[in-house]
Amino acid sequence: MTYEPPDLPADPDAVSESILEGMADQMPGWVPVDGAPEVALAEEVGTETAATRAFFTSFAEWAVAGFGATVFGVQPVLAAAAQLSVEFTVTGAGAQIPVGFTVIATNESGAEIAFITSELLTSVSTTVTATLTAAVVGTVGNDVPAGDLVVATASAVVTAAEATAPSAGGLDDEPIADYLVRLSDQLATLSFGGILPHDLALLARSVPGVDRAVGLDNYDALSGLTDVARTVTVFVVDEDGAPVSVGIKADVQDVLQAAREPNLVIYVADPTYTSVDIAYEAVADPDANPVTVKTAVDAALAAYIARWGSTSEDPDGWVISSTMRLFEVVSVIGSVAGVLYLDSLTLNGAAADLALAGVAALPTPVTAGVDPSTITGTVV
């Protein structure tokens, strides 16, 4: 479900143009002339009206968000600082590292991030390990790789510092639009007459870290049986279509358990993945760059795999489908700007529809660490 903001166009030029068109309709034969007083007045009114509309739209969004947080307890996700596990090499047992001791790390984008100790550390050998917190909040502190760090605080006892694992846990403030979609999903389940599988899926989507979810009625994830009464299994994935962490699944389970009907058994599970190899040969428009077109085709196919089961009506939805249809993939490729025509296409080596395994089937994302789907193609 998507939050629908007030339909109030707020582009100053568009609003001014609308005013001028209205004036022309009311005064047959009148033509706007740049610099004329009435035209200048209409443009100024359009600018002020657009600013008022933008303010009202923003005010409405924040008012709805405040109502959701205070009345229904659906809290926005606030920014958080990343954490980094660090092993310090020190001069010997008993060496102390003070609160505020700082090391400098570089994330995958090349940005330098300071990480700081939050407690006094005392070594019992020549090394001491601690979890340091990024000096700035947000995802910028994530993905600092394991390896050597720069010691920024002068010290007579610390001789080296090393990250033992990539940093993680940094969060940006949740965009207001994303929060309102989450709020809409959760409020949509507040209906008399019980909780349906669709409602449970919407509730699951309200949990941070879950992008899409689908509920399967009468399916028991433990036994694999599909006709178990008073049982629902909810399958959840992240924004890439990959499984969420064990911790996020536990959060989903807690949310669903709190909302379930009496005697309803709920499971939270990962989908079943099938690795797909999409191989294609295409021809680019004469005035298009084949390299650019190929990059765009590969990106479109990767997005198609990651958003498997979504619909144009609900891009964050998930309709269970166990067949990847050849001509649907043809359509994805053909819709990419610069593609003139497709010469050949196979799915897992065959020019035919491909069956995906499992009751909640998904193609494996191309970003998966194990047995990912692959896209191999040429554009000439």
380 residues of the chain, pLDDT tens digit each: 556 667 778 888 988 999 999 999 999 989 999 889 999 998 999 899 988 888 877 877 878 778 777 767 778 888 999 999 999 999 999 999 999 999 999 988 889 999 999 999 999 999 999 999 999 999 999 999 999 999 999 999 999 999 999 999 999 988 888 888 888 777 766 654 446 888 889 889 889 899 999 999 999 999 999 899 989 999 999 999 999 999 999 999 998 988 777 788 999 999 999 999 999 999 999 999 999 999 999 999 999 999 999 887 778 889 999 999 999 999 999 999 999 999 999 999 999 999 999 999 999 999 998 899 999 999 99
For the entire predicted model, the pTM comes to 0.55
Same domain, 281 and 374: yes
pLDDT at 152: 95
Report whether 163 contacts 86 (CB < 8 A). Answer: yes
Q: Tell me, what's the pLDDT at 275? A: 97
Length of the chain equals 380
Give the per-residue pLDDT at 194: 45
Query: Do 277 and 201 belong to one domain?
Result: no
Q: Which residues span the domain enclosing 287? A: 273-379
- Tell whether 291 is covered by a domain: yes
In this prediction, residue 189 carries a pLDDT of: 63
Same domain, 254 and 232: yes
Q: Verify that 101 and 142 share a domain, yes or no.
A: yes
Spatial separation of the C-alpha atoms in residues 197 and 270, rounded to whole Å:
16
Do both 305 and 375 map to the same domain? Answer: yes
Q: 325 and 252, same structural domain?
A: no
Residue 141 · residue 107 · CB < 8 Å = yes
- Is residue 307 in a domain? yes
Region class of 226: left (phi > 0), else alpha (psi between -120 and 50), else beta: alpha
| Same-domain pairing of 193 and 240 | yes
Alpha-carbon span 280 to 339, nearest angstrom:
12
Look up residue 289 and give its amino acid: N
Query: What per-residue confidence (pLDDT) applies to 302?
Result: 96
End-to-end CA distance of the chain: 41
Asked whether 298 and 326 are in contact (CB, 8 A), the reply is no
Query: What pLDDT does 193 receive?
Result: 40
**Where a domain ends, among 255, 270, 285?**
270
Final residue belonging to a domain, choices 270, 289, 314 = 270
Q: Residue 40: what pLDDT?
A: 92
Q: Is residue 64 part of a domain?
A: no
Tell the residue number behind the tokens 């994935």, with chain if given. 237
Task: Give me 219's structure tokens.
Answer: 């399916």
| Residue 336, in any domain of the structure | yes
Same domain flag for 284 and 358 = yes
What total number of domains does the chain contain? Answer: 3
Q: Looking at the structure, do residues 118 and 195 belong to the same domain, yes or no?
A: no
Q: Are residues 217 and 277 in the same domain?
A: no
In a domain, 327, yes or no: yes
Residue with tokens 């036994």: 223
Q: Are residues 370 and 277 located together in one domain of the fold? A: yes
Query: Looking at the domain assignment, is residue 295 inside a domain?
Result: yes
pLDDT, residue 158, reads 96
Q: Are 158 and 90 contacting, i.e. CB atoms less than 8 angstroms apart?
A: yes
Contact assessment for residue 113 and residue 144, using Cβ atoms and an 8 Å cutoff: yes
Is 59 inside any structural domain?
no
Last residue of a domain, one of 237, 253, 270: 270
Q: Let me know if residue 183 belongs to a domain.
A: no
Burial track 178-192 (b if 16+ CB lie within 10 A, e otherwise): ebbbbbbbbbebeee
Task: Please tell me whether residues 260 and 277 are part of one structural domain.
Answer: no
